[in-house]
Amino acid sequence: MSWLSKIRHSNEEKKKKAIIFLSAVSMIIVIFFWIWYMSSYIKEVGTSKADETRETSFWPVFKNGAAVIGQSIKYKFSELTSDLYSKIPKIGGERIINIQNQ
């Protein structure tokens, strides 16, 4: 009996554990290949430049990209909250929120 048929004939709890484990393994494999691809791509782009004194590696590029994405999320979140606060009615300089039970 193969391991796949053992999973098929087991109870629901073991099936859920197997799905979680196999999903985690597949995510690790995909992330590994993505990092490997990006690092080889960045090295190719870095070596094709005329100025070869500066070496570009994966992690500084990844860090800069994460910083840009973080700033964008922060900007959009501040826009969203300011828009939300502008829609809450003001009475006497204080914001009033009415909660109605249905």
Closest CA to 57 of 72, 47, 70: 47
Phi, psi of 48 (to 5 degrees): -80, -10
Position 17 scores a pLDDT of 92
45-102 residue pLDDT tens: 655 555 555 566 788 888 888 999 999 999 988 888 887 777 766 555 555 566 666 5
CA distances from 66 to 24, 44, 55, 62, 91 (A): 23, 21, 20, 6, 41
Give the model's pLDDT for residue 47: 58
Helix 58-87 with 12-47: angle, nearest 10 deg: 110
Return the structure tokens found at 60. 């500084």
Residue 94 bridge partners (DSSP): 91
CA-CA distance, 10 to 5, in Å (whole number)? Answer: 9
